[in-house]
Amino acid sequence: MPYRIKSTMDARPLADPRTGPDACDMCGSPSARELYTATDRLRNSDVLFSVSVCDGCGVLRTLPVMTEADLSLYYPNDYWGELRTPSPGWIASSQQEKTGFLRKCSLTGGRILDVGCGTGLFLRALDGEYWERFGVETGSEASRLAAEALGADRIFNGSLIEARLGTSAYDVITMWSALEHMNHPKSNLAEAKRLVRPGGTIIVQVPNAASYQARIFKGSWFALDVPRHRYHFILPVLKRLLSDTGFRIYQTTLFSKAHNTHAFRQSLKTALRAGESRAGFGVFCLTIPLIKPTDFILTMLGSGATLTVAARARGSDAAVE
């Protein structure tokens, strides 16, 4: 059954209108309704965050709005990747799903920009003979390590918009688990449209807020990852956002060997309180053999927990489809 958010039935108004949200970056609506609350899974604090649906466009948002400086306090140094030096074999193996998706899209070389590149593991997994590799990363330590591996002139420490890169400079732009972290996803996609050549590709991977995991676990869903994840997407909303910023989706998958089963396992562990209760731990151990096949079946039925799309940039004179 497809996941639908109905603001009048499934959600309730935010409790205190005096602390209501700033305007939605996607549609400008100042109105949102709370679906449920969640705490930081990394336990930086016990603050309750609100996961709310925008009354204007239906996107889910984490509230309250937080500045980039405030959000930075919720990121440990190793959040975006290994701080030790991994072997080339480990890098290739860990990034196989991403490089495989490139091949599935018939993307075999060119100038590529990875937004939110972390320590540069994905870029390092690409063959430098075929790919001219660049990255943007807000984390200072992660970007330093990426620059050490790929070259200081290839990695920008800051946001995509702050980088002020050249127009139509890239054949491919990737946002692997990055768009959901942005306070301004629409503005960043509009900037990506400026940066990619006409006919070039953007790849966006985000947790699927329409998945069976999101429906079952709600605020305990591992991939919710509040407060770091600011927006939570479903395919129709992401498709509309990409279309509004000049892209047309041509490849979609809900499968992710790297993310889906792991998120299911961690969410179930939290829901059963396996770390706090012997009974919960026992039940969790009994479910372990069922996790992978259950996730596979539900993903096959169109409810996978990770949404990955490839979209082609329309020409500047192309009509919006």
Q: What is the pLDDT of residues 17-72, one digit of tens each?
A: 334 448 899 999 989 999 999 999 998 888 999 999 999 999 999 999 999 889 98
State the angle between helix axes of 278-298 and 260-271 in degrees (0 to 180), rounded to the nearest 10: 150
Two tokens at 257?
A: 């060997």
Mean of the per-residue pLDDT values for the chain?
A: 90
Rounded to an integer, the average pLDDT of 229-238 is 97
Structure confidence at residue 111 (pLDDT): 98
148-184 pLDDT, tens per residue? Answer: 999 999 999 999 999 999 999 999 999 999 999 999 9
Contact of 199 with 310, CB cutoff 8 Å? no
Tell me how many helices (H) and strands (E) the chain has: 11, 12
Two tokens at 135?
A: 């990255």
Confirm whether 193 is domain-assigned: yes
From 53-67, 72-86, 108-122, 208-222, the region with the lowest mean pLDDT: 72-86
| Alpha-carbon gap, residue 80 to 121, rounded angstroms | 10
DSSP 34-67: EEEEE--TT-S--PPEEEEEETTT--EEEES---
Is the predicted pLDDT of residue 14 greater than 90, yes or no? no
Structure confidence at residue 83 (pLDDT): 62
Rounded to an integer, the average pLDDT of 97-123 is 97
Structure confidence at residue 81 (pLDDT): 58
Structure confidence at residue 130 (pLDDT): 98
Structure confidence at residue 319 (pLDDT): 36
Confirm whether 64 is domain-assigned: no
Confirm whether 16 is domain-assigned: no
Q: How many CB atoms lie within 10 A of CB 29?
A: 15
Structure confidence at residue 80 (pLDDT): 63
Total number of domains constituting the chain: 1
Confirm whether 233 is domain-assigned: yes
Confirm whether 1 is domain-assigned: no
* Residue 140's CATH number: 3.40.50.150
For the chain, percent of residues with pLDDT exceeding 70: 90
Rounded to an integer, the average pLDDT of 8-21 is 38
State if pTM tops 0.85.
yes
Confirm whether 119 is domain-assigned: yes
**Closest C-alpha to 191, from 156, 172, 157, 165:** 165
Banded pLDDT at 13 (limits 50, 70, 90): very low
Confirm whether 201 is domain-assigned: yes
270-317 pLDDT, tens per residue? Answer: 999 999 999 999 999 999 999 999 999 999 999 999 999 999 999 854
Confirm whether 59 is domain-assigned: no
Q: Which domain holds residue 94?
A: 88-313
Residue bearing tokens 């890098």? 91
